[in-house]
Structure 1
Amino acid sequence: MRFFFTLFIFTISVLSATAQQTQKPVLHGKNWMAITGKPLAATAGAMTFQRGGNAVDAACAMLAATCTMWDVLSWGGETQALIYNPKTKKVIAINALGVAPTGATVDFFKSKGYDFPPENGPLAATTPGTPGGLLYMLANYGTLSLEQVLAPAMEMAAGYPMEAQTANSIERNKELIKQWPYSKKVFLTHPGQEREAPEAGEIFVQKDLLQTLTKMVEAEKAALKKGKSRKDAIMAAYDRFYKGDIAKEFVRGSQEQGGLITMQDLAKWKPLEEEPLMMNYKGIDVYKLQQWTQGPVLLQALNILENFDLKSMGYNSTKYIHTLYQTMNLTFADRDFYYGDPYFPPHEPIKGLLSKEYAKQRAGLIQYQKNNPTIGPGNPYPFEGRKNPYLNLLKERGYELDTTKRNFAPTHDIRNGSSMAEYQDRLWRGTTTVEAADKEGWVVSITPSGGWIPACIAGNTGVGMSQRMQSFVLDSALNPYNVVEPGKRPRVTLTPSMALKDGKPFVSFAVQGGDTQDQNLLQFFLNVVEFGMTVQQASEAANFNTNQLWLSLGGTKTDDRKPKPGHILLHESTPEEVRNELKKMGYTLSFDDRTSGPINAIYFDWKHGSFWGGSSNHGEDYGIGW
């Protein structure tokens, strides 16, 4: 989704933290901080903190509220999280991404004429992950009951005043929504009228969803009455959603509309607690989720950029933009070919991809005179002592893996497919983010998504199904690690971030925006670390986007997803001198007043014992601190 905003024009020199005005004030707090994609959802987090909950409780309450408000996601989507546990002083990762259902095979989708799984409807759905992820986090790391945490979301499901952004999205997508009877029943509150969607400010009631949430709370209460522990009672709600009557109605409603998800698919799925990936950048430990997300792109980019003096280049100077653009092209080329579900073979060469030596080799490929439109994936296998099993596949695609040469991309990857407007829309496809922290030391960063409008609702559950199947590939030549098969997770764009310094939380940050997420998070992080910006300044600062990558979302044909080498999106305030220099280097420029999805972040001020919250001015994202 697109959010329009205005930014002040920045100079291309290095900025001091005090030199830059922001449109929104920085948030300050000493007890807790709650930031997410909607004001009402941030309020749900604040209410949960006021009840005595910790940051995990508050994050779960905000997640539930954003799903209920259809903030570019719903209850049937997926949840990805990083949590800092102050008791163990470690960062843990939560993998609550759904999997491809029974029957979701390459042959199945190809028989329907697809080059990629569809982007909408029941065949786009992985199994729902958000309910399981929320319940797992709450049971293991929260303190409150499910009933307490879901209370704001349940009140919203009973009726809340819908904001214009969601209401207008429903109206724009009403013809698609009309294909699915349960979606039509929920979303089109004025059938037959000129405007069939709700109006801004209209009280939007979701009776079916309220019933689903009520059933989950009833399961918790029944378990507590039987003497079950708090954790077991919350997991009783989990069982009712994934194995009980909620699951039966979800599966019935999905299959009625042509979906593939079975009761066995729901029963077998479970959220996973994982070790996050980490690398150190100039004394700061940066954490990301594993390679089933695009998160390692940020770590690879920082490894490459350690080889350059970025600060001396100046913020958004021609040299700085060029260096970051080339770095992002290198890392996204690796993402596009090597990332996938680590629980399925073949096993990704993640150790080699994150090697400092590999990064140094990749940095040596950057040309300073011009954009290199032929950059492709490298060969990380030697950096972990293994032989690349796909050398022949890469060569068949036209990649040159001799590191003394610079021709790295297949010629058929350098065509223009879809229109620039369509491409940019797919590049920016959004989600929401949740950031929470408390004085006890708990920190949570979540990038949930899936089930966005136009969502296909599964029966009478009120739950919109995920659209994440589209991030699989059907052709192993594109990415042999991310080929669809039942039970497998697609490689997603969703990518929360967390950084520690001197063993303590430094900054927690996340952004929405499809393939641009780690592009914008990289620039946000460098704004703070290299240019001394506050988290609010960094969240509002002008970024730029590369289009020289394979799209992860949108379109069912190969031409819809192909890279656009040399295409760069710049902020409209970019000086004429920088524009002219980039054109001479072979770039194709486009401009907008929005160059980033909304960034939300929390900075930890250990000197003063307080939090600094940043919430982007790019959309409706909002934060509350105390």
Structure 2
Amino acid sequence: MKQLLSVFILTFFAFPTLAQQTQKPVLHGKNWMAITGKPLAATAGAMTFQKGGNAVDAACAMLAATCTMWDVLSWGGETQALIYNPKTKKVIAINAMGVAPTSATPKFFKSKGYNFPPENGPLAATTPGTPGGLLYMLANYGTLSLEQVLAPAMEMAAGYPIEAQTANSIERNKDLIKQWPYSKKVFLTHPGEKREAPEAGEIFIQKDLLQTLTKLVDAEREALKNGKSRKDAIMAAYDRFYTGDIAKEFVRGSKEQGGLITMEDLANWKPLEEEPLKVTYKGVDVYKLQQWTQGPVMLQALNILENFDLKSMGYNSTKYIHTLYQAMNLTFADRDFYYGDPYFAPLEPMKGLLSKEYAKHRANQINYDKNNPTIGPGDPYPFEGKKNPYLKLLKKRGFEMDTTKRNFAPAHDTRNGSSSVDYQDRLWRGTTTVEAADKEGWVISITPSGGWVPATIAGNTGIGMSQRMQSFVLDENLNPFNVVAPGKRPRVTLTPTMALKDGKPYLSFAVQGGDTQDQNLLQFFLNVVEFGMNVQQASEAANINTNQLWLSLGGTKTDDRKPKPGHILLHDSTPESVRNELKKMGYTLSFDDRTSGPINAIYFDWKHNSFWGGSSNHGEDYGIGW
């Protein structure tokens, strides 16, 4: 396979449209496209399209199915989406990120000896966002009933053949799972045996979850029986989850295990419909969610990279890799200090961060001869006509705004922190993605997450609680915009993407992988736009990853999260000459045979009025088109 990939790299530039040596085929369809992280979940999307549903219906069915399959998320997690509405010809954003419970404060977590909120257990949980996000999207932009859309997930909850990836994850994490009685009851189907988790192919039954989903459908049925509209009936299911008997059992089960979530926390939370953020890169409009995600990192990077002739550098040449790495370091430094929940003060300086002038200023800070280990946050405030109120804080943190005066590494960059294996696990920590499109013009890109194994199940609901609190900070010196507070959303890594060209959908794409998400999505986009790859080639192509950033996930100590300046992940096929040149530029190299991340994508072929689907070769991602 390595030889095949090397041939692909060498022949790509001469024959960009003919280089089809991908590990998985391109998907083609003219009516619809359904792609997600699990084969059974993609089937759920296809089944929903065949019922006459639109792309939003199918995406909700895939989301429900992936939540029921546990490996990388569950029903208690969070959902982030971009939707293209063909009626208004606009992209909208769905914010279904849960919030910190009422008692979640820096003082509370510090009293327990944490530098960050924990990564597992009930204290890691924000309020559930996925149920509300799914029900909101379905009610407002779908066409089918909740009963129709949940049918595949309910059938799976009644029993489905569990895949090896999830089954083995349960077995690996069984010691943690045993701490939580409701998780133990659901996951460890062979208690006391050598292997206590299900075996691959075993029919995995979730009676409590099936009961919860049945209650949602029953609420819809009852509302319809009472003359409610389709939308109001779906929102009746929403009310039952967030204020009714499901909420009561969720809160009871959480509190029993030491959790903080209250009935008021659930009732006060609402999904939000937002304006996405956007930049234009060489005539392509690229959309991301707001700064409560890391999505603007990719927009900032595109603005910086627009100042360079990337194509002439050559795909994954030394110069290209170095330029990309430095641009990403600049934008992640900004992310790590300036991004946070826009519904809480202080207000993030996004106008400045996303301005072309600021990008040009940052591009001029790139050293072309070697890696700069001292890159810190920039000063976007002058680019929106303001004075930076955090200059003293930045200096206290160890950064000078004038990089020409800095000949030292900031304190947090001088040590590597935790082991390489632990660090990479936290860097890549996964979720899943959902991509769907239909011939009517609806397009949706979702990056849901939270409640992954090992999850704390809340009482007899069958619902795993989120672990997203760990993405908050407790110290404003790290990020004054992302300090935990009751009712606040953590700044998350989750980041679906959509691109329009000439006012029409061009690309819809997303990836799992923690802090690497916008690194891989940036390179996927450039692979298509700059180097002419199709979506399957671009999803499989060799990428790089920078480790010169603060980790968003994992570990409760500061050392667990510290950046690793100059550390770079390269593909095994990287030529020796490139390796040697990068070493001379101050990089520390590591390698893997798959570096692209599990990217899923749809390309819109307006010449032929068809869809091209790309489904990653990285994991179990799968797509179906028709």
Provide TM-score, normalisation by structure 1. 0.98
Equivalent residue, structure 2, for 1:185 = 185
Equivalent residue, structure 2, for 1:216 = 216
Equivalent residue, structure 1, for 2:609 = 609
Structure 1 pair 419–12 and aligned structure 2 pair: CA distance change class (3 A): farther
Equivalent residue, structure 2, for 1:512 = 512
Counterpart-to-counterpart distance in 1, 2:351 and 2:409: 23
Counterpart-to-counterpart distance in 2, 1:290 and 1:389: 22
Counterpart-to-counterpart distance in 2, 1:6 and 1:198: 37
How far 1:387 moved relative to its partner? Answer: 1.2
Counterpart-to-counterpart distance in 2, 1:610 and 1:73: 31
Deviations for 1:238-284, whole angstroms, at most 9, x for unmatched residues?
Answer: 00000000000000000000000000000000000000000000000
Equivalent residue, structure 2, for 1:387 = 387
SS of 1:11's equivalent? helix
Question: Within 5 Å, which residues of 2 pair with 1:487-566?
Answer: 487-566=487-566
Counterpart-to-counterpart distance in 1, 2:270 and 2:358: 34
Counterpart-to-counterpart distance in 1, 2:550 and 2:487: 24
Question: Within 5 Å, which residues of 2 pair with 1:106-255?
Answer: 106-255=106-255
Counterpart-to-counterpart distance in 2, 1:386 and 1:368: 30
Deviations for 1:413-441, whole angstroms, at most 9, x for unmatched residues?
Answer: 33110011111110000000000000000
Counterpart-to-counterpart distance in 2, 1:476 and 1:443: 38
Counterpart-to-counterpart distance in 1, 2:227 and 2:101: 35
Counterpart-to-counterpart distance in 2, 1:203 and 1:355: 53
Structure 1 pair 137–7 and aligned structure 2 pair: CA distance change class (3 A): farther
Structure 1 pair 469–147 and aligned structure 2 pair: CA distance change class (3 A): same
Conserved? CA contact 2:83–2:92, under 8 Å: yes
Conserved? CA contact 2:375–2:403, under 8 Å: no
Conserved? CA contact 1:157–1:206, under 8 Å: yes
How far 1:412 moved relative to its partner? Answer: 3.1
Structure 1 pair 291–113 and aligned structure 2 pair: CA distance change class (3 A): same
How far 1:406 moved relative to its partner? Answer: 5.5
Question: Within 5 Å, which residues of 2 pair with 1:193-592?
Answer: 193-402=193-402, 404-405=404-405, 410-592=410-592
Counterpart-to-counterpart distance in 2, 1:556 and 1:153: 34
User: Which stretch of the first structure deviates more once superposed, 538-547 or 410-419?
Assistant: 410-419
Deviations for 1:295-343, whole angstroms, at most 9, x for unmatched residues?
Answer: 0000000000000000000000000000000000000000000000000
Conserved? CA contact 2:71–2:169, under 8 Å: no
User: Which stretch of the first structure deviates more once superposed, 557-566 or 403-412?
Assistant: 403-412
Counterpart-to-counterpart distance in 1, 2:445 and 2:94: 10
Conserved? CA contact 1:493–1:517, under 8 Å: yes
Counterpart-to-counterpart distance in 2, 1:39 and 1:464: 22
1:11 aligns with 2:9: yes
Give identity over the alignment, percent: 88
How far 1:102 moved relative to its partner? Answer: 1.3
SS of 1:580's equivalent? helix
> How large is the Cα RMSD of the aligned pairs?
1.3
Conserved? CA contact 1:71–1:432, under 8 Å: no
Equivalent residue, structure 1, for 2:104 = 104
SS of 1:507's equivalent? strand
How far 1:536 moved relative to its partner? Answer: 0.3
How far 1:527 moved relative to its partner? Answer: 0.2
User: Which stretch of the first structure deviates more once superposed, 403-412 or 545-554?
Assistant: 403-412
Structure 1 pair 138–409 and aligned structure 2 pair: CA distance change class (3 A): farther
Conserved? CA contact 2:527–2:533, under 8 Å: yes
How far 1:13 moved relative to its partner? Answer: 8.0
Conserved? CA contact 1:12–1:317, under 8 Å: no
How far 1:593 moved relative to its partner? Answer: 1.0
Deviations for 1:531-587, whole angstroms, at most 9, x for unmatched residues?
Answer: 000000000001110000000000000000000000001111111000000000000
Conserved? CA contact 2:520–2:596, under 8 Å: yes
Letter in 1 for 2:555: G
Conserved? CA contact 2:547–2:568, under 8 Å: yes
Conserved? CA contact 2:71–2:165, under 8 Å: no
1:46 aligns with 2:43: no
Regions of 4+ moved over 6 Å: 4-7
Conserved? CA contact 1:212–1:462, under 8 Å: yes
Structure 1 pair 277–89 and aligned structure 2 pair: CA distance change class (3 A): same
Counterpart-to-counterpart distance in 1, 2:216 and 2:296: 35
SS of 1:147's equivalent? helix
Counterpart-to-counterpart distance in 2, 1:74 and 1:175: 20
Counterpart-to-counterpart distance in 2, 1:89 and 1:483: 36
Question: Within 5 Å, which residues of 2 pair with 1:62-101?
Answer: 62-101=62-101
SS of 1:601's equivalent? strand
Deviations for 1:49-84, whole angstroms, at most 9, x for unmatched residues?
Answer: 000000000000000000001130000000000000
How far 1:397 moved relative to its partner? Answer: 1.6
Letter in 2 for 1:273: E
Letter in 2 for 1:383: F
Deviations for 1:127-161, whole angstroms, at most 9, x for unmatched residues?
Answer: 00000000000000000000000000000000000
Letter in 2 for 1:40: L
Equivalent residue, structure 1, for 2:598 = 598
Deviations for 1:9-43, whole angstroms, at most 9, x for unmatched residues?
Answer: 24368631322510100000000000000000000
Counterpart-to-counterpart distance in 1, 2:120 and 2:489: 17
Listed as ranges, the gaps of 5+ residues in structure 1 are none
